[in-house]
Amino acid sequence: MKVLLAPLHWGLGHAARTAAIIDILLDAAVECSVASDGAALEFIRQHFGDRLKTYIELPAYPVIYDEKTVALSVLKRSVGFLRAIQMEKKEIARRASVEEWDLIISDNRYGARVSGIPSVFLGHQLQLKMQCSLLGRLATSFNRTLIRQFDQCWVPDFPNKLLSGELSSWKDQEKVQFIGPLHKQSTLPEQEKRLYRYVVVLSGPEPSRTRWEQRLLRQVENFNQMTLFVRGLPVEAEIPAVKNNQVHMVNFMTKDKLNDAISSSEVLIGRAGYSTIMDLCFLRKPAVLIPTPGQTEQEYLADYLKDKWPMAFFNEKDFDLEMVPAVLDELRRREYPQVDPHLQARQVIQLIQSLCG
């Protein structure tokens, strides 16, 4: 069997959960190819190398994140957005005639489908949250219209929506399958000795990622905790100088190494992205999460998940690293929901078999 996987490149979250699906497929001896762009495509290449058959460059979705409201920014660029969808659809159709894929799995790339080939849309946002309810309803309707063109929609959450809440609600459940939270499993043993107290993962779209990094770096000048910053950038990017030997910075870590670093730390500090929340269910690590300003999805998740799991949420403008120790005792008293990756893998393969006959 041959499968194409196409993750969106808005941060690395889509690529990370696509990587989890690739792990399941490779274990089942399925031939995999990937189509994406930018750092998402490089992320997959770094993790899998020549274990995947083909890497295909697709056009980027032209969304510029506006700090006041991301959703409005997307709507303003809807023409360019639709143009990118058409361009990627043509490119994938052209390659499909050569590659002869049996299935296409798209993580939020709406043009990653070809007539005559079964297709899956992977995503948890079936209902879009916006500050303006009218815009939210319009965007949700448009989103669902595009998703209906796929044969199935896989939601990476528990059937009772423990992690996504209203985001994955949709009365039309005919196409929807809940496959559980996704996480790329580590092949490295966990460190027995704690290397860092804090692991800070800097993720998300620019320019908010850089602003967030600069804000935190100003806070660590006199910081006395062993801390690792993972910048989420290509390996060749220049690393800022930090005059503090307690703070270490790297541009990029493979998922294996990042999982290992988080597992051997006391707490994760990062954005409130859905992929990060899924990772935490597997790693079972206390976390302090800060929603990206203007990203209404992350702001909703922060409100929905507060006080439920070992996660604390802060607004970016109010957050300081010195606030973390005060919340750790409470976080340690909570537990994450259990995930069975073996059962999940069997479910994914069974869904694929039902689609492909």
Please give the tally of structural domains in the chain: 2
Q: Phi/psi class of residue 324: alpha, beta or left (left: φ > 0; alpha: ψ in -120 to 50)?
A: alpha
Verify that 255 and 305 share a domain, yes or no: yes
Q: Is residue 319 part of a domain?
A: yes
pLDDT digits (tens, 9 = 90+) for 239-248: 988 888 899 9
Residues 285 and 144 in one domain: no
Q: How does pLDDT run across 238-271, given as a tens digit for each residue?
A: 998 888 889 999 998 888 888 899 988 999 999 9
Query: Within a domain: residue 314?
Result: yes
> CA 60, 61, 66 angle in degrees (round to 5)?
125
Residues 123 and 263 in one domain: no
67, 93, 229, 311, 324 from 308: Cα distances, Å? 27, 44, 26, 8, 18
Same domain? For 260 and 135 the reply is: no
Among residues 97, 157, 113, the alpha carbon closest in space to that of 278 is found at 157
**Mean pLDDT, range 41-61, rounded to an integer:** 93
124-159 tens-digit pLDDT: 999 988 777 887 888 899 899 999 999 999 999 999
Q: Are residues 224 and 346 in the same domain?
A: no
| Residue 193 covered by a domain | no
Q: Is residue 271 helix, strand or coil?
A: strand
| pLDDT above 50 (res 55) | yes
Q: In angstroms, how far is the first alpha carbon of the chain from the final one?
A: 11
Question: Looking at the structure, do residues 241 and 178 belong to the same domain, yes or no?
Answer: no
Rounded distance between C-alpha atoms, residue 27 and residue 19, angstroms: 12
Do both 147 and 227 map to the same domain? no
Distance CA(55)–CA(29), nearest Å, equals 18
pLDDT of res. 75: 65
In terms of Cα–Cα distance, which of 55, 11, 51, 48 is closest to 254?
48
Task: Residue 116: give its domain's CATH number.
Answer: 3.40.50.2000
Sequential DSSP letters for 176-214 = EEE---------SPPPSS---SEEEE--SSTTHHHHHHH
- Residue 38 parent element (H or E): helix 38-48
Residue 37 lies in a domain: yes
Same domain, yes or no: 21 and 58: yes
Q: What is the mean predicted confidence (pLDDT) over 59-86?
A: 71
**pLDDT of the residue at 67:** 47
Flag whether 106 is in a domain: yes
Pair 172, 208 in one domain:
no
Locate the DSSP E strands across 164-242: 176-178, 198-201, 227-230
Q: How many helices (H) and strands (E) does the chain have?
A: 11, 13
User: Is 269 in the same domain as 348?
Assistant: no
Q: Higher confidence at residue 90 or residue 64?
A: 90
Q: Write out pLDDT tens, residues 180-209.
A: 999 987 665 555 556 889 999 998 777 888
Q: Is residue 190 part of a domain?
A: no
The answer to whether residue 188 sits within a structural domain is no
Domain of residue 120 covers 2-183+339-356
Q: How far apart are CA 199 and CA 262, in angstroms?
A: 6
Same domain, 98 and 233: no
| pLDDT 10s digits, 297-354 | 999 999 999 999 999 999 999 999 999 999 999 999 999 999 899 999 999 999 999 9
The answer to whether the beta carbons of residues 212 and 230 sit under 8 Å apart is no
Render pLDDT for 115-124 as a digit per residue (tens, 0 to 9): 999 999 999 9
- Asked if the structure places residue 192 within a domain, the reply is no
Within this chain, do residues 144 and 96 fall inside the same structural domain, yes or no? yes
| Prediction pTM value | 0.89
More confidently predicted of 74 and 155: 155
CB atoms within 10 A of CB 42: 18
d(CA 268, CA 262): 6
8 Å CB contact between 102 and 117: yes
Bridge partners, 198 (sequence order)? 227, 267
